Amino acid sequence: MLSVAPPPAVELLTPRAIRERCGNITRAVEAGDSNHFRVDRTKLGSAARAVADVTRRRYRSLEIPYHSRWRHFNTGRVDRKAELDRRLKGSTDAERMRAHIDLAVISVLLDAGAGPTWRYREPGTVDDYRRSEGLGVATFRAFVSGAFSASPGEPMRVDAAALTDLDATTLGRWFQVTPENPLIGLDGRAALLRRLGDVLETRPDRFGLTSRPCALFDRMLDNRTLAAPAILRALLEGFGPIWRASAPSGDESELRVHGDVWKHRHAGGSGPTAGVVPFHKLSQWLAYSLFEPFEWAGHDIADRDALTALPEYRNGGLLLDTGVLALIDESDRDKVWDVGSELVVEWRALTVSLIDELAEAVRAELDLPHLPLACVLEGGTWATGREFAAQLRRGNPPITVRSDGTVF
């Protein structure tokens, strides 16, 4: 049975803690106490203009949706959400919402970087998709085909019984993996889903007798308004044990039960969590991706901007490619870095802090002062980071991070 998170680390489960610890690191870098980066805020204006230009091109009406997994389900201008709802015809509103939640959970957990060569061809078409879009379409097709359900009569669900025995070979077949079409971190992805199955099976207090991810929110749904930090907290507490794994460099800290949590000498804090910075990238990505299923079911989402920018290589790459960040040693671009290395942790912390500032400048450029951060990301910073990467490096990030399929 997977262990429960230790109480001293509870403080790491909030967006406030993410911003606070990232801010500590950012201030240290600005003070010159970094071996890796320099910050140039004079470049924020030009970066904001680039993001605003991309946003206007992508969303001419400036009706910008959330940065969410649901965008990837529309890849190729195919409305797969509508297809899902047709398949769920006859289901109640509550049953439809549960299916939406299950799909979002499984798809986000499988959304770590796919690598530059992997492709997915949607069955019955000649359309090949790559990277996040490919992973999104692949998980959608697996989901509607019952890959994550142990109930033949109810294929569009995720349950413990289907996940606990899922191996990399089976997952690879759903994702069309071959020696010629490798997917980075396939073993890690399969192991993550098996751990998810274990948690669903062994925590009936959280996941009920159905042992489905959607059951995590059953108690919250008595309220019409759901707060974004509460959604994130539920995800981190409910799914926290699935992240237990050996951290880089042999670090077996109990804090790793909280997943995307790393050490940095400037993180600050006190007590057992001193020197630790949380990011919770996939969990926040999942929280953003649940806004719409809850809203479709009639709920309101409060305090949306409490969540942070996603600290990954598109947003972080945008900052490097626009000069807001600069590497002290340019040869660092030629190395491959572990996720827990000081350089990568620092890069991600700077991304959280500086995208907050960049978002304010983007809102001013677009004359949309109340645009939610999730929409700035979608419009937005993530897409602009990808465009710079495509122009400069054939889509690759400016810094190469060694992935196990569970963080980036």
Place of tokens 């190469």: 400
For helices 313-321 and 382-393, what crossing angle results, to 10°?
60
How far apart are alpha carbons 103 and 160 in whole angstroms? Answer: 14
Residues 6+ apart with CB under 8 A from 192: 109, 242, 405, 406
Angle at 72 between CA 119 and CA 124, to 5 degrees: 55
Length of the chain: 408
Per-residue pLDDT for the chain (408 aa), expressed as one digit of tens each? 444 444 547 888 899 999 999 999 999 999 999 999 999 999 999 999 999 999 999 999 999 999 999 999 999 999 999 999 999 998 999 999 999 999 999 999 998 878 889 999 999 899 999 988 999 999 999 999 999 999 988 999 999 999 999 999 999 999 999 999 999 889 989 999 999 999 999 999 999 889 999 999 998 999 999 999 999 999 998 988 887 543 444 444 455 556 789 999 999 998 888 999 999 998 999 999 999 999 999 999 999 999 999 999 999 999 999 999 999 999 999 999 998 999 999 999 999 999 999 999 999 999 999 999 999 999 999 999 999 999 999 888 999 998 766 665
Contacts of 86 (CB under 8 A, 6+ apart): none
Distances (CA, A) of 204 to 138, 149, 238, 355, 362: 29, 18, 11, 39, 44
Domain boundaries, the chain: 7-33+67-305+348-370
Contact in structure between 272 and 8 (CB atoms under 8 Å):
yes
Indicate the pTM of the whole model. Answer: 0.91
Query: Token pair for residue 384?
Result: 């602009």
Closest Cα to residue 281, out of 302, 262, 300? 262
The two tokens of residue 148 are 């994550």
